Amino acid sequence: MRYTNATKVLPQKLITEIQKYVQGETLYIPKPKTEYMNWGSLSGGRRLLEQRNTEIRNAFQNRNSVEQLAKEFFLSTETIKKIVYSHKK
């Protein structure tokens, strides 16, 4: 997160109004909710996890055991269970 001096981006009238509530402090102004991106959507991490989870579900449907999948994917048996028993397809 970077900081911007309010005097460079906001009109003086708005700064005066904000100063009624906050003076000399750092103020965080969040993005609109429509601008938020899901975790991993830029880096591709989300897509990689979805591909891995699909592969785990397919292997489980092909009679691989939870323990076997945990060893193969280096995950706990509880994590494998969450993946294979979730309703996400």
The predicted-structure confidence for 37-77, as pLDDT tens digits, reads as follows 888 888 889 899 999 999 999 999 999 999 999 999 999 99
Band the pLDDT of 3: cuts 50, 70, 90: confident
pTM here is: 0.59
| Tokens at 42, concatenated | 């830029």
pLDDT of amino acid 2:
81
Is the Cβ–Cβ distance between 66 and 80 less than 8 Å? yes
Residue that wins the pLDDT comparison between 2 and 69: 69
Most distant pair of Cα atoms in the chain: their distance:
68
